[in-house]
Structure 1
Amino acid sequence: MGSSRRSKAGIFLGFLLLNLIQLVLGRFVVEKNSLKVTSPDSIKGTYDSAIGNFGIPQYGGSMAGAVVYPKENQKGCKSFSDFGINYKPKPGAMPNFLLVDRGDCFFALKVWNAQNAGASAVLVADNLDEALITMDTPEEDVSSAAYLQNITIPSALIEKSFAEKLRKAISGGDMVNVNLDWREAVPHPDDRVEYELWTNSNDECGFKCDMLMNFVKDFKGAAQILEKGGYTQFTPHYITWYCPTAFTVSKQCKSQCINHGRYCAPDPEQDFTSGYEGKDVVIENLRQLCVFKVANETKKPWVWWDYVTDFQIRCPMKEKKYNKDCADQVIKSLGLDLKSIEKCMGDPNADSDNPVLKEEQDAQVGKGSRGDVTILPTVVVNNRQYRGKLEKGAVLKALCAGFEETTEPSVCLSTDVETNECLDNNGGCWRDKAANLTACKDTFRGRVCECPVVNGVQFKGDGYSSCVASGPGRCKINNGGCWQDTRDGRSFSACLDNEEGKCSCPPGFKGDGVKSCEDIDECKEKKACQCPECSCKNTWGSYECTCSGDLLYIRDHDTCISKRATEVKSAWAAVWVILIGLGMAGAGAYLVYKYRLRSYMDSEIRAIMAQYMPLDSQNEVPHHANDEHA
């Protein structure tokens, strides 16, 4: 156990050493925007500020406001509502830019508290005399995940000396007005924007993975419009690391790397004993790069967005579908050449460089005005790293800021993104041409593949490869997607009108019930008509049996009997029916006679007896002696 822990510690120290070497040799560039003080005159001028890597910077635009400095909660680590402070501007007043001090809590928490208090932007004052740094998001935890994705105001870090000037002016009673300007934050030399997305196929890294997945789905529609119109040139990138030579034979490197330690990714669950491994992520990253290259060669680079979003939906790690088989299904549904992609990927077990991943590692190193890519995920626009929340509107603003003035496409001048991805290859979704049905739906976020509802009947399936009608009425719609055929005026169907939505060949047929049902030759397979005098003839969906000579076939007993014997039996049966009927009629008449005779005799006897003795129903005649005595 101790040896295993030391091994794990060694590999992590190796990766840590590698990262430290890259930080020393590499170059991180802090992206800045301009901060211009318009009043008071004592500090009037232009200053640098570092754009925060969260919230929504107003790329391509500017924002004017008045700087305020709180008397309490000056670091902004607590909710300003606890102090009864509100920075929401009154009608007609300038927006408030809240100045807070660095320290004691995350940068993002300071901005979140300021946003809740009504501030329109935040300036964080550095507490050290140092060059500006980029304020990044904290590592995900329960508390930070609740607010990180909801920060919408811009923020910037300012130098300690400049912050002291602002505080002094505010304490002296001056109104400090500033203008935050992002118009030069992105170079805009011509009418085409070149941008990159540094991403990852791993979907088990918590908040940042979820943020990336949601961004890709939301931004896909706008990205494809810009790419199809020739307004942008997009390139996806994936970060990989290499395993130090001393550790290439270790269990950890073998599980996290391909090509003998040359290209590695961290274990998705950070658990070497279960789940997916780092090399699974590297292979899928490589596949997605090759999808882009093959799509680009066919002049349709925008298909990469379709593959990535479909893979996220259809092949998630949580459902144990993050594998080659699922990826191949997505590739085929989009009409891409699977063999070309596999050829591009090469052999992950080869002890040699992979040309595609080698190029990716070289691209991580900063060139020109762009620094090393160390924040993942991130967007690079015209060789400048985007800072801020990965959100559709914010990134689109950054892209549009990269166009030369007056050359912006219409998508930059309107919030509407109109497209219909279902017109091209049905969006890669399920389609039934015969019934003119499709699972493709075009939305403002791009197309989605969802099984349709037709005349109240719900189709069920994954929306990509299959959709099957389910429930009552399903057989009325294209026969429920099941087999059906008509011959010689006889029709058969494999559709069962039930909730399961299954197709089953009817009696007399065999097959899958969907594509085909073949007639069963009952004369051979079921051994029908086996009596000596029987003769079997197969028909479509059934069979016919006849008997030789003057014989009649009885199907229930699979036997032949004489027609004459049948007639004699029928005649005797008729005679017996008549005799039984006459017997029953005679018995009935006799019973009626006996009943009426008995009734007549009873009435005569009663009449005779009434003459000689009183009956129970008659009263006796009273005597006179009783009257006198009374």
Structure 2
Amino acid sequence: MREKLGLLVCVWFVLWGSCVGRFVVEKNSLRVTSPESLKDVYECAIGNFGVPQYGGTMVGTVVYPKANQKACKSFEDVEISFKSKPGGLPTFLLADRGDCFFTLKAWNAQNAGAAAILVADDKIEPLITMDTPEEENAHADYLQNITIPSALISKSFGDSIKNALSKGDMVNINLDWRESLPHPDERVEYEFWTNSNDECGPKCESQIEFVKNFKGAAQIFERKGYTQFTPHYITWYCPDAFILSKQCKSQCINHGRYCAPDPEQDFSRGYDGKDVVVQNLRQACFFKVANESGKPWLWWDYVTDFAIRCPMKDKKYSKECADQVILSLGVDVKKIDQCIGDPEADVDNPVLKAEQDAQIGKGSRGDVTILPTLVINNRQYRGKLDKGAVLKAICAGFQETTEPTICLSDEVETNECLENNGGCWQDKAANITACKDTFRGRVCECPIVQGVKFTGDGYTNCEASGALRCEINNGGCWKDTKDGSTYSACVDDNSKGCQCPQGFKGDGVKTCEDVNECKDKVACNCPECKCKNTWGSYECSCSGNLLYMREHDACISKHVKTEVSWSFIWVIILGLAAAGVGGYALYKYRIRRYMDSEIRAIMAQYMPLDNQGEIPNHVPHGDI
């Protein structure tokens, strides 16, 4: 809580130092053409949202609703529509000030079909600028979608219109923006006050989106000398009493001279305000160096690419990432570093000092206190930060009949890929590039060539991926042919990357060098072996009458191999023969003994054998 309180105190002092200046309300003319009682030219203040028709006019009839007169609710709820019928004049809704934001009134009017909204002040006072609500109260889902112009009129003028309508009179009004911007000559000078911070919510997002969308048109203006563009960055100082505080040390550089709010409003995490100041300074120095080299339009490329490649959310909001973007655009990093100087030095930085001086309003322009702010011919632009709206405003700043062709055409044709390949990746050998030219400027996107998709960031690398990737420039891998043999580091499957084939070493992309297997002792290591290195392989041989066996990395005698083989065969044959004879003899011997024993047993039953004695006859007693 103490840290947040300290932050609020510091920011209050800082803003007080820059916001007490003069704020100029931008106005345009409003002419009433009927009824007679109201015919005249009146002043109105241009709203800081919607799309003012700079350089043009709009005629319509005023409607003051019987219900929802403050336009704080949707007109669908009260079943009211302001859509004009075919052939009828557009409808200008008159709404009362109060109860809700100006932007909500305009949004409800637009959804009901109104072509413009006039907000009548509820008290007698000088005209003010209707602005967008603060971030914590903003509804980002509709703020950037308001397209109808808006204007604040005085209370007395609003009462006069209501009185005429109550009598049944038709009130017709001509909104005229033709003199809203000065147009003294054939060149428009404009400034864009911006910020490198990308973590400030919807305002940062719309700011980055505008730069991307407007880049193509802005570069055409600059290249052909139609405009003189200058980017600026708001910076505050830390009061002397707070220079040593934690808040100022984390938000400021050059000992409190140049500060920016903490992106996350939390000093304990993420990036600090001083990181934003340094990046703002780097972008300002990039423009300075590019302008001195005659290419001020490169600033649009740098800011766009930095937002894409180095966002805070990806933890890439750093000097290293910024330098990569700078190098890709062909700008000298050393010159930019010299321009930035030492952020820790207790001295004034000439670039940021000039930025602080430029914040103070001069002539018809008020002080710059909010971001983003667009100043055209020293007049602050009001309305939505939209490509079409800003293009109309810049074109309105040219002297009549001197407008460039771009102001008279619905389309802007550019081809930023023709110079330095737009800072994108390319393979000159295969004539493949990641640069694509669009109406909104170039984008760096890895291509699809002959059905093969390239993947990468589009800025520093793109690699072929998927099947058949080796068909396109060999997948970006090394390939060479020598002595009738061809080797490649690309594998034609779903893999990515490059790998040197067996027998080579290197990165597989630019180089694959032959491995000397003989020198590295990875082959032909037997004592009798002789090694000869070849491109991508090797050859082994044996001295004398020996034969090399590669699978065993060994040398053997050619003759020994034959003798041993035949001897082995004869041994087998003789062994088989001996086994047969022995088996047969055993068989005969055992059969013979068996037969002899059987015959002797049979004969013994009928006659005495030679080894048996005669048996005497016995006569029983009593038989004589």
In 1, the alpha carbon distance for the partners of 2:440 and 2:572 equals 82
Do 1:258 and 1:348's aligned partners in 2 also have CA atoms closer than 8 Å? yes
Do 1:522 and 1:543's aligned partners in 2 also have CA atoms closer than 8 Å? yes
Is 1:223 aligned to residue 211 of structure 2?
no
Partner of 2:497: 502
Partner deviation per Cα, 1:34-53 (whole Å, 9 max, x = no partner):
01111111121111100001
Do 2:190 and 2:374's aligned partners in 1 also have CA atoms closer than 8 Å? yes
Q: State which of 147, 150, 153 in structure 1 corresponds to 2:148.
A: 153
One-letter code aligned to 2:8: F
Partner of 1:444: 439
Q: State which of 5, 14, 18 in structure 2 corresponds to 1:9.
A: 5
Matches within 5 A, 1:66-465: 66-141=61-136, 144-465=139-460
Displacement, 1:139?
2.0
Partner deviation per Cα, 1:317-347 (whole Å, 9 max, x = no partner):
1111111111111011111111111111111
Displacement, 1:497?
2.1
Structure 2 SS opposite 1:64: strand
One-letter code aligned to 1:490: S
Structure 2 SS opposite 1:80: coil
Aligned residues, how many? 578
Q: Which moved more, 1:517-526 or 1:343-352?
A: 517-526
Q: Which moved more, 1:304-313 or 1:493-502?
A: 493-502
Structure 2 SS opposite 1:380: strand
Partner of 2:14: 18
Displacement, 1:253?
0.9
TM norm structure 1: 0.89
In 1, the alpha carbon distance for the partners of 2:376 and 2:143 equals 23
In 2, the alpha carbon distance for the partners of 1:84 and 1:571 equals 112
Partner of 1:605: none
Higher CA-based Rg: 2
In 1, the alpha carbon distance for the partners of 2:472 and 2:575 equals 58
Go from structure 1 to structure 2 and tell me whether the alpha carbon gap of 1:570 and 1:142 turns closer, same or farther (over 3 Å shift): farther
Q: Which moved more, 1:124-133 or 1:389-398?
A: 124-133
Partner deviation per Cα, 1:552-583 (whole Å, 9 max, x = no partner):
1111111111011122245457779999999x
Partner of 1:590: none
Partner deviation per Cα, 1:562-610 (whole Å, 9 max, x = no partner):
011122245457779999999xxxxxxxxxxxxxxxxxxxxxxxxxxxx
The percentage of counterpart residues that share the same residue type is: 71
Structure 2 SS opposite 1:237: strand
Displacement, 1:15?
2.2
One-letter code aligned to 2:335: S
Do 1:11 and 1:247's aligned partners in 2 also have CA atoms closer than 8 Å? no
In 1, the alpha carbon distance for the partners of 2:539 and 2:456 equals 41
* Structure 2 residue ranges without an equivalent (≥5): 578-624
Structure 1 SS opposite 2:390: helix
Do 2:10 and 2:247's aligned partners in 1 also have CA atoms closer than 8 Å? no
Is 1:478 aligned to residue 473 of structure 2?
yes
Do 2:503 and 2:514's aligned partners in 1 also have CA atoms closer than 8 Å? yes
Partner deviation per Cα, 1:23-44 (whole Å, 9 max, x = no partner):
33x1000001101111111121
One-letter code aligned to 1:429: C
In 1, the alpha carbon distance for the partners of 2:231 and 2:182 equals 20
Go from structure 1 to structure 2 and tell me whether the alpha carbon gap of 1:527 and 1:12 turns closer, same or farther (over 3 Å shift): same
Partner deviation per Cα, 1:293-319 (whole Å, 9 max, x = no partner):
111111110000000111111111111
In 2, the alpha carbon distance for the partners of 1:578 and 1:387 equals 111
Partner of 1:594: none
Displacement, 1:539?
1.6
One-letter code aligned to 2:230: T
Partner of 2:543: 548
In 2, the alpha carbon distance for the partners of 1:345 and 1:28 equals 31
Displacement, 1:211?
0.4
Q: Which moved more, 1:244-253 or 1:570-579?
A: 570-579
In 2, the alpha carbon distance for the partners of 1:143 and 1:228 equals 38
Do 1:68 and 1:99's aligned partners in 2 also have CA atoms closer than 8 Å? yes
The two structures, once aligned, show a CA RMSD in angstroms of 1.8
Partner deviation per Cα, 1:211-233 (whole Å, 9 max, x = no partner):
00110000000000111111000
Do 1:8 and 1:252's aligned partners in 2 also have CA atoms closer than 8 Å? no
Q: State which of 505, 526, 531 in structure 1 corresponds to 2:526.
A: 531
Partner deviation per Cα, 1:469-512 (whole Å, 9 max, x = no partner):
00110111111111111111111111122333111111111111
In 2, the alpha carbon distance for the partners of 1:581 and 1:53 equals 111
Matches within 5 A, 1:528-607: 528-571=523-566
Partner deviation per Cα, 1:48-72 (whole Å, 9 max, x = no partner):
1000011000000000111111111
In 2, the alpha carbon distance for the partners of 1:469 and 1:502 equals 8
Structure 1 SS opposite 2:422: helix
Partner of 1:618: none
Do 1:15 and 1:244's aligned partners in 2 also have CA atoms closer than 8 Å? no
One-letter code aligned to 2:126: A
Partner deviation per Cα, 1:263-309 (whole Å, 9 max, x = no partner):
11111111111011111111111111111111111111000000011
In 1, the alpha carbon distance for the partners of 2:191 and 2:159 equals 38
Displacement, 1:180?
0.5
Partner deviation per Cα, 1:336-368 (whole Å, 9 max, x = no partner):
111111111111111111000000000000011
Do 1:429 and 1:439's aligned partners in 2 also have CA atoms closer than 8 Å? yes
Go from structure 1 to structure 2 and tell me whether the alpha carbon gap of 1:429 and 1:577 turns closer, same or farther (over 3 Å shift): farther
In 1, the alpha carbon distance for the partners of 2:250 and 2:493 equals 48
Do 2:237 and 2:257's aligned partners in 1 also have CA atoms closer than 8 Å? yes
Do 1:215 and 1:392's aligned partners in 2 also have CA atoms closer than 8 Å? yes
In 2, the alpha carbon distance for the partners of 1:339 and 1:577 equals 87
One-letter code aligned to 1:127: D
One-letter code aligned to 1:505: C
Do 1:522 and 1:538's aligned partners in 2 also have CA atoms closer than 8 Å? yes
Do 1:227 and 1:302's aligned partners in 2 also have CA atoms closer than 8 Å? yes
In 1, the alpha carbon distance for the partners of 2:234 and 2:576 equals 100
In 2, the alpha carbon distance for the partners of 1:129 and 1:567 equals 122
TM norm structure 2: 0.90
In 2, the alpha carbon distance for the partners of 1:108 and 1:498 equals 56
Q: Which moved more, 1:460-469 or 1:523-532?
A: 523-532
In 2, the alpha carbon distance for the partners of 1:21 and 1:551 equals 96
